[in-house]
Amino acid sequence: MDKDEIDALEPKYTGNQRHLTEGEAQAIVHDPNFKSEADEDITDLDALAIGLAYGVTRRT
């Protein structure tokens, strides 16, 4: 991981109290429960698609 990726994780996981090591950052990224900001964008689009599908089927 490069320094920019590690710096992006620090506020969320350390509260800017300390710096993450490269090993800690790798562990966070490879954790099965980890969601990046890109994953959250997909979730928002999925929610929109579900809402639209519900609206189409509800009219019947």
Report field, pTM of the whole predicted structure over 0.85 = no
1-23 pLDDT tens trace: 788 887 888 887 777 788 888 88
- Average pLDDT in the 26-51 region? 71
Model confidence pLDDT, tens digit, residues 39-58: 555 567 777 787 788 776 66
Q: What is the pLDDT, as a whole number, of residue 36?
A: 64
- The confidence score (pLDDT) of residue 24 equals 87
Separation between Cα atoms, residue 13 and residue 16, nearest integer Å = 8
Within a 10 A sphere around the Cβ of 25, how many other Cβ atoms? 21
pLDDT at 40: 54
Question: Could you count the other beta carbons within 10 Å of the beta carbon of residue 13?
Answer: 14
